[in-house]
Amino acid sequence: MTTYEMRIDRLNFNTDINYDNIQAFSIGHESCILKFFKVIRNNELLKFIDKEKNLGKQIRIITPFIPERHLAEIKDVLAEINNIKCFHNSVIIVNDLGLMHYIHKMNENRQLCLGRNLLACFDYAPWGHRIYESEDLHIQKAVSQVSLYDDEKMDFFKKYNVTETEADVTKRTVKSLKEIQKSGFRVNIYKSSFTYGLQRSCYIKRYNIDQGCSGMECEYSEKLDLDELWCGAEFYKEQENINFPSPLYIRGNQIYGRAHDIPCDWADSIIISPEQNNTYKGADI
Per-residue confidence (pLDDT) for residue 117, from 0 to 100: 96
Rounded Cα gap, residues 237 and 98, in angstroms: 39
Domain range holding 26? 3-276
Q: Does 214 map to a domain? A: yes
Q: Does 284 map to a domain? A: no
Residue 15: is its pLDDT beyond 90?
Answer: yes
Q: Does 281 map to a domain? A: no
Residue 234: is its pLDDT beyond 90?
Answer: no
Q: Does 150 map to a domain? A: yes
Instruction: Tell me the per-residue pLDDT of 83-97, one tens digit each, with 9 for 90 and over.
Output: 999 999 999 999 999
Q: Does 111 map to a domain? A: yes
Instruction: Tell me the per-residue pLDDT of 117-135, one tens digit each, with 9 for 90 and over.
Output: 999 988 888 777 778 888 8
Cα angle value 43/44/45 (rounded, 5°): 90
For the chain, what is the domain count?
Answer: 1
Residue 282: is its pLDDT beyond 90?
Answer: no
Beta-strand ranges (E) seen in the chain are 3-8, 24-28, 58-62, 92-94, 112-114, 162-167, 186-190, 194-198, 222-224, 248-251, 254-257, 269-272
- Top pLDDT among 95 and 234 is at 95
Q: Does 138 map to a domain? A: yes
Per-residue confidence (pLDDT) for residue 20, from 0 to 100: 93
Residue 32: is its pLDDT beyond 70?
Answer: yes
Q: Does 17 map to a domain? A: yes
Instruction: Give the CATH number, domain containing residue 139.
Output: 3.20.20
Instruction: Tell me the per-residue pLDDT of 51-107, one tens digit each, with 9 for 90 and over.
Output: 999 999 999 999 999 999 999 999 999 999 989 999 999 999 999 999 999 999 999
Asked if 117 contacts 198 with a C-beta cutoff of 8 angstroms, the reply is yes
Per-residue confidence (pLDDT) for residue 245, from 0 to 100: 79
Q: Does 285 map to a domain? A: no
